Amino acid sequence: MDFTLSEEQQLFRDALAKFVQNEYAFEARRKIVASAQGWSGEVWARLAAMGALAVPFAEADGGLGGSGVDLMVVMQELGRGIAVEPYLATVVLGGGAVAAAGSPAQRQALLPGLIAGERQLALAYAEPGARHDLHDVQASARREGAGYVLSGRKATVLNGATADTLVVSARTAGARRDAQGVTLFLVARGAQGVSLSDYRTIDGLRAADLVLDGVRLGADAVLGPVDGGLAPLERAVDLGAAALCAEAVGVIEQLNALTLDYLRTRRQFGQPIGRFQALQHRAVDMLVHAEQVKSIVCLAASAAQSADERERRRAVSAAKSLVGRSGRAVAKEATQLHGGMGVTLELPAAHYAKRLTMIDFWLGDSDWHTERFAAASA
Amino acid sequence: MDLHYTPEEQAFRAEVREFVRARLPRDISAKVLGHRRLAKDDYVRWQKILHERGWIAAGWPVEHGGTGWSAVQQHIFDEECAAAGAPRLIPFGLNMVAPVIMQFGSEQQKRRYLPRILSSEDWWCQGYSEPGSGSDLASLKTRAVRQGDHYVVNGQKTWTTLAQYADMIFCLVRTDSSVKPQEGISFLLIDMHAPGVTVRPLYLYDEEHEVNEVFFDDVKVPLENLVGSEGKGWTYAKYLLGHERTGITGVGASKRELALLKEIAAQQAKDGRPLAADPVFRQRLAQVEIDLLALEMTLLRVLSSRTKPGPEASILKIKGTEVQQALTELMMDALGPLALPFSRTAIEEGGSAAPLAPDYAAPLAARYFNWRKTSIYGGSNEIQRNIIAQQVLGL
Ligand SMILES: Cc1cc2nc3c(=O)[nH]c(=O)nc-3n(C[C@H](O)[C@H](O)[C@H](O)COP(=O)(O)OP(=O)(O)OC[C@H]3O[C@@H](n4cnc5c(N)ncnc54)[C@H](O)[C@@H]3O)c2cc1C
C-alpha cells in the first residue's frame, strides 16, 4: 500500500498551490465573490492553461486521463483558497455526466471547448421537495416526433446561470420516485422555454433555479440511454461528492492553520490563548478530524471511478458522511476559538467556516450519505 | 414539591396572553416569526406599547416604575411575549445599566436616566469590550482623565451591539493606571452624540450590521456622569454580568423556535414523506426538546429559590446558548439544499432567496451562523466554565 503522490502529482499540486496562494489571496477572492458574475474568468483561463480543466477526461476527448486521485489533488488546492470558480459544476458534474454517458459526437461537441476554458456546464438534477434523492424526478420529457418536450423545475443548480449547456434529468417513463424512466438531456441555456434565476449561496457561490416550460429538443439531445439515465447521473454525482470531499480537506487544513495561528498570536490574560489547556484540546480535536477526513478522502478518491458500484457507493458515502460531520465540527470550533473575530467577515476564518459547513448541503448531506453507506454495506 | 403553576400564576398568564394578542403589531410579529431582521422602530414601537401598560420593566422594583413581579411571573411574561412573536426587549438600558444606576447611581442619575429608559427615549449600548480586551476585560485601555469639571475620554470599544442606534453608552474606562488593573476602572455614562464619538460598522457572518467599533477622541464627559465612585467600576460591572447571563438563557424564545421547527419539519419532505416522520430527524429534534424541557425546569428552579443567582447563572448561560444553537442548526438542516440560497434583501424585507424556495427558508442558514455568537458574547462559554470550575467546584 502506498499513500504517496507520484512526482508528477506533486509537481502539479505545488504549481496549483502557488497559484492559489499568490493569486487567490483573501482580498482578491473578496472582489471576485462580489463581482457581477461571482467568479473570475481570468482565474478560469489560468486553470485551463495549467491543464487543470483537462484532468479527469480521457485522452481521446482531449483530456489528461487523470484518476480520482488526480482530481483530489486539484480540489484540495482549490479548497485551500476557497475558490469559487465553477470547477465542480463544469468539470466534475457537468463534464462528468457527458464523459460518463455521452456519444462520441456529444463528447466531441462539448469536452474540447470545456477543457480549453471556453464552455461552461452545469448539472441540473435536484428538484424542490426531492431533497438529495436523484431518482425523485418530476420534470417530464414527453416524446414528440423524433424529439422531446421538457417541462419541470430544478433547484439550486450550481453555476446554472453561467453554464452554456445544462445536463438535465427528466422523466421519460414511470412514476415520480421510480429508478427506471429517468433520462438525461443536453439543454442549451438560451433555448426557448428555459428560464433561469441566478442567486448567491451563503457559502459564496452562485446557483440558479431553472424552470423548463415546453422546451423542444431533438433526439441528439438525449445523453446516454433513454430511461436509464440514473446510473450515469449517480456516477457523475458520486465523482462530484468525492471531489467536494477533497475540497473539504483543503478547507479544513487551511482553517486549522488559521486557527492555530490565532491561538499563538491572540493574547488574553497576559499570554497567548493557545496556552489555555481547554483550547489546546479543542485544537487537537480539530487536527484529529483533519487526519480522519484526509484518510477517508483518499479512499473515496481511489474508488470514485470504480466499476464496482457497491465499492464506489460505500467509499464515497463514507467520505461525504464523515466530511459533513467533521466539517461542521471543525467550523464550529474554529469560530469559537476566534472569539468575536470568528463571527465577523473581517478575517478569512469565517469565510472558510461558512463554506465548510455548507459543503454538507451539496450533493447529499451527512444523514443521507450515512443511510446510503448503511444500505451499501448491508 | 408541586411543579404546577398556581391559579394566580395561570390567571396572570391568561392576562398577559390576551394583552399581547390584542396589542402586538402584526407586522412586527410576522418579522420575528419569519426570522427577518428588525428595524430600530420595530423594537421601540413594542417597548412603548409595553411602557404604556406599565409592563416594560418586569424586573424593576415598583418604586422606580417596575412591575414588582415575582421571578416566576417574569418568566411567564417572557414566555408569552416570545411565543406570540414579540421582539426581545433591548437589554442594555432596561436590564443592564438600570440595575447599576438603581444600586450605585446618584439621585440625579436615577431621576434623569431611569424614566428615559422606561419610555425608550434613550437607546443605550454597552461599552465594555475592546480590541485587546475581550475575555480579559480587566486589561481594558480606554482612558478617562479628569480635567476640571469633566473627564476627557480617549480610546476604542468594539463589538458594541446596535451602537448605530444608541443615544447613550455605559463604559468601563481606566481612570488610574497605577493600581491593580481591576481597581483602576470606573463606570462612565457617555452621550453618543458628543463631539469626538465615532461609530464604525462591523459585519457579522451573515452580513448583518449588528455590532460596531466605537472610537473616543478627546470626548468631554461631565464628572456627574460617573456612576458611584472612581475605581469601583469593576465591582459594578460584575454586579451587572449576573443579570446578563440569566437573560441570555432565552427559554421563552427557544420554545417558540422549537414550535417553528416542528412546523418546518412538517412541511419539508424526506424519502417521499414529511421530514417530521423521518426517524433520524425525529430523534434529533426530540433530544433538543428534552434538553430544553430540562433547561426550563432548571431556570424555574433557580428563579423560585429566594436567593439571587450566583455562579449558577453560568450554567444557564452555557446550556441556554447550546440549546439555541442546536435549534438553529436543526432548522437549517430541515431545509436540506434549500438552506443554500442567500439574499440580504429577503432577510431584511421579506420574500424568498430563490424562486423555488419557500419564504421561511431564506433567513435560516444566516441565522445559524449568526447564532454562533451566543457562545462567545456575554462572557464566552469557556469563561463560564472557568467560573464554574473555580467558584462552584472549587478547583
Ligand atoms: C455579536 C456580539 C455582540 C457583542 N456585543 C457586545 C456589546 O454590546 N458590548 C460589549 O462590550 N461587548 C460585546 N461583545 C463582546 C464579547 O463580550 C466578547 O466577544 C467576548 O467577551 C470574547 O472576547 P473576544 O472576542 O475578545 O475573544 P477572546 O477573549 O480573544 O477569546 C478567544 C477565545 O479564547 C477563549 N479564551 C479566552 N480566555 C480563556 C481562558 N482563560 N480559558 C479558556 N479559554 C479562553 C475564548 O473563550 C474564545 O474561545 C459582543 C460580541 C459579539 C460576538
Distance B161 CA to ligand 1 centre (A): 13
- Ligand 1 in contact with B128 (CB < 6 A)? yes
- Ligand 1 in contact with A344 (CB < 6 A)? no
Which DSSP string corresponds to B191-228?
ETTSTTEEEEEEEBTTS-EEEEEEEEEEEEEEGGGEES
pLDDT of residue A266: 98
As a whole number, mean pLDDT of residues A91-118 equals 98
Give the span between the Cα atoms of A183 and A147, in whole angstroms: 13
Look-up of cell digits 452580513: B207
pLDDT of residue A298: 96
**What is the four-CA torsion angle of A3, A7, A11, A13, rounded to 10 degrees?**
-10
Q: Residue B341: which of A153, A156, A270 has the nearest Cβ?
A: A156
Distance B378 CA to ligand 1 centre (A): 8
Q: What is the CATH number of domain A122-227?
A: 2.40.110.10
Which residues of chain A does B386 touch, with a Cβ-Cβ cutoff of 8 Å? 278
- Ligand 1 in contact with A347 (CB < 6 A)? no
Q: Residue B204: which of A269, A343, A361 has the nearest Cβ?
A: A343
Q: Are strands B168-174 and B124-127 parallel, antiparallel or unpaired?
A: parallel
Give the span between the Cα atoms of A26 and B288, in whole angstroms: 37
Whether A99 has a pLDDT exceeding 70, the answer reads: yes
Give the span between the Cα atoms of B7 and B26, in whole angstroms: 30
Q: Name, in order, each residue with C-beta under 8 angstroms of B15's C-beta and a sequence gap of 6 or more.
A: none
- Ligand 1 in contact with B371 (CB < 6 A)? no
- Atom 29 in ligand 1: residue holding the nearest Cα: B135
| Fold category of B249-391 in CATH | Butyryl-CoA Dehydrogenase, subunit A; domain 3 (1.20.140)
- Ligand 1 in contact with B352 (CB < 6 A)? no
Q: Collapse the DSSP code of A68 into the 3-class scheme (helix H, G, I; strand E, B; otherwise coil) and give the result.
A: helix
CB burial readout B331-349, b (16+ within 10 A) else e: bbbbbbbbbbbbbeebbbe
Distance B139 CA to ligand 1 centre (A): 13
- What superfamily would CATH give domain A231-377? Butyryl-CoA Dehydrogenase, subunit A, domain 3 (1.20.140.10)
Q: Residue A132: which of B207, B336, B357 has the nearest Cβ?
A: B336
**What is the atom index within ligand 1 of the atom nearest the CA of A343?**
53
ipTM exceeding 0.95?
yes
Q: How far from A172 is each of A131, A215, B51, CA to CA, in Å?
A: 21, 14, 64
Give the span between the Cα atoms of B97 and B128, in whole angstroms: 12
**Under a CB-based contact definition with an 8 Å cutoff, are residues B331 and B365 in contact?**
no
Is the whole-model pTM more than 0.90?
A: yes
> Count of CB contacts below 8 A, A vs B?
135
**Under a CB-based contact definition with an 8 Å cutoff, are residues A89 and A114 in contact?**
no
C-alpha gyration radius of chain A: 21
pLDDT of residue B245: 59
Distance B181 CA to ligand 1 centre (A): 18
Give the span between the Cα atoms of A182 and A94, in whole angstroms: 17
Whether A198 has a pLDDT exceeding 90, the answer reads: yes
Search chain A and give the residue with CA nearest B267.
A129
As a whole number, mean pLDDT of residues A183-208 equals 98
B48: region left, alpha or beta (phi > 0 left; psi from -120 to 50 alpha) = alpha
**Intervals of CATH 1.20.140.10 along chain B:** 249-391
Q: Which of B285, B332, B342 to mutate to test the interface with A (most CBs of A within 10 A)?
A: B342
As a whole number, mean pLDDT of residues A228-251 equals 98
pLDDT of residue B176: 95
- Ligand 1 in contact with A332 (CB < 6 A)? no
Average pLDDT of chain A, as a whole number: 97
Domain range annotation of chain A: 7-120, 122-227, 231-377
Nearest Cα neighbor of A159 from A84, A217, A97 is A84
Rounded to 10 deg, the angle between the A26-34 and A348-358 helix axes is 60
Which residues of chain A does B273 touch, with a Cβ-Cβ cutoff of 8 Å? none
Give the distance from residue A282's alpha carbon to the nearest chain B alpha carbon, in angstroms. Answer: 11
Search chain B and give the residue with CA nearest A126.
B337
Cβ <8 Å between A200 and B341:
yes
Which residues is A271 bridged to in the sheet? A268
Q: Name, in order, each residue with C-beta under 8 angstroms of A98's C-beta and a sequence gap of 6 or more.
A: A106, A107, A110, A111, A121, A167, A186, A223
**Intervals of CATH 2.40.110.10 along chain B:** 123-231
Give the span between the Cα atoms of B316 and B242, in whole angstroms: 11
Cβ <8 Å between A202 and B342:
yes
As a whole number, mean pLDDT of residues A292-316 equals 96
Search chain A and give the residue with CA nearest B337.
A361
Portion 177-196 of A in contact with B at CB < 8 A: 177
- What superfamily would CATH give domain A7-120? Acyl-CoA dehydrogenase/oxidase, N-terminal domain (1.10.540.10)
Give the distance from residue A300's alpha carbon to the nearest chain B alpha carbon, in angstroms. Answer: 22
**What is the atom index within ligand 1 of the atom nearest the CA of A344?**
53
Distance A212 CA to ligand 1 centre (A): 50
- Ligand 1 in contact with B159 (CB < 6 A)? yes
Q: Which of B209, B369, B370 to mutate to test the interface with A (most CBs of A within 10 A)?
A: B369
pLDDT of residue B111: 97
pLDDT of residue B243: 65
Which residues of chain B does A374 touch, with a Cβ-Cβ cutoff of 8 Å? none
pLDDT of residue B311: 82
CB burial readout A115-143, b (16+ within 10 A) else e: bebebbbbbbbbbbbbbbbbbbbbbebee
Which residues of chain B does A125 touch, with a Cβ-Cβ cutoff of 8 Å? none
Which DSSP string corresponds to A197-216?
EEEEETTS-EEEEEEEEEEE
Whether A225 has a pLDDT exceeding 90, the answer reads: yes
Give the distance from residue B174's alpha carbon to the nearest chain A alpha carbon, in angstroms. Answer: 17
**Under a CB-based contact definition with an 8 Å cutoff, are residues A42 and A271 in contact?**
no
pLDDT digits (tens, 9 = 90+) for A318-341: 999 999 999 999 999 999 999 999
Q: Name, in order, each residue with C-beta under 8 angstroms of B271's C-beta and a sequence gap of 6 or more.
A: A133, B278
Which residues of chain B does A38 touch, with a Cβ-Cβ cutoff of 8 Å? none
Q: Read off the pLDDT band of A31 (50, 70, 90).
A: very high
Distance A340 CA to ligand 1 centre (A): 5
Give φ, ψ of B18 to 5 degrees.
-65, -45
**What is the atom index within ligand 1 of the atom nearest the CA of A338?**
32
Cβ <8 Å between B338 and A344:
no
**Under a CB-based contact definition with an 8 Å cutoff, are residues A218 and A106 in contact?**
no
CATH architecture of B123-231: Beta Barrel (2.40)
A200 in B contact zone (CB under 8 Å): yes
pLDDT of residue B244: 60
Render each residue's pLDDT in chain B as its tens digit; 395 residues.
889 999 999 999 999 999 999 999 999 999 999 999 999 999 999 999 999 999 999 999 999 999 999 989 999 999 999 999 999 999 999 999 999 999 999 999 999 999 999 999 999 999 999 999 999 999 999 999 999 999 999 999 999 999 999 999 999 999 999 999 999 999 999 999 999 999 999 999 999 999 999 999 999 999 999 999 999 999 999 887 766 656 778 999 999 999 999 999 999 999 989 999 999 999 999 999 999 999 999 998 888 776 776 788 899 999 999 999 999 999 999 999 999 999 999 999 999 999 999 999 999 999 999 999 999 999 999 999 999 999 999 99
pLDDT of residue B242: 64
Q: How far from B389 is each of A259, B318, B386, CA to CA, in Å?
A: 25, 13, 5
**What is the atom index within ligand 1 of the atom nearest the CA of A278?**
43
Cell numbers for B70: 415575582
pLDDT of residue B241: 73
- Ligand 1 in contact with B343 (CB < 6 A)? no
Which residues of chain B does A332 touch, with a Cβ-Cβ cutoff of 8 Å? 372
Give the span between the Cα atoms of B109 and B198, in whole angstroms: 25
Active site (catalytic) residues of B: 244
pLDDT of residue B131: 98
Q: Where would I find the beta strands (DSSP E) of A172-272?
A: 182-188, 194-201, 206-217, 222-223, 267-268, 271-272
Cell numbers for A201: 449561496
Give the span between the Cα atoms of A82 and A254, in whole angstroms: 9
